[in-house]
Amino acid sequence: MKDEAITPRARLLADAIHATDQRGAKYGPPEVHFARTVGMVNAAFAHVLTRPLTTGEWAQIMVLDKVARHQAVPQKDNLLDIAGYAACSFECDREKLGDS
């Protein structure tokens, strides 16, 4: 498919794939990176959490953070990140979703 035939939404998703792959190469797989992050968050907020957060939930939190950023300062990068974090959430929760 030629670039001219790609819709703007498909181009955004293609750009999100590229960004997600680049960031994965830099920071590691989402489940590994998010496990490190969510471990720190769970430790810091253990006194208020009723249970520890999962890596998939952390990805969802990051989607919400990007939505909040986009409401304040709309820009393409926010939307790329939303798509990327949605994909990371899927990757973290594949077994739960029956897609292992």
Question: pTM of the entire structure?
Answer: 0.86
pLDDT digits (tens, 9 = 90+) for 47-69: 999 999 999 999 999 999 999 99
**pLDDT at residue 22 tops 60:** yes
DSSP string, 22-76: HHHHHH--HHHHHHHHHHHHHHHTTTT-SSPPPHHHHHHHHHHHHHHHHHHS--H
pLDDT of res. 5: 84
Q: Is 98 left (phi over 0), alpha (psi -120 to 50) or beta?
A: left
**Model confidence pLDDT, tens digit, residues 64-77:** 999 999 999 999 99
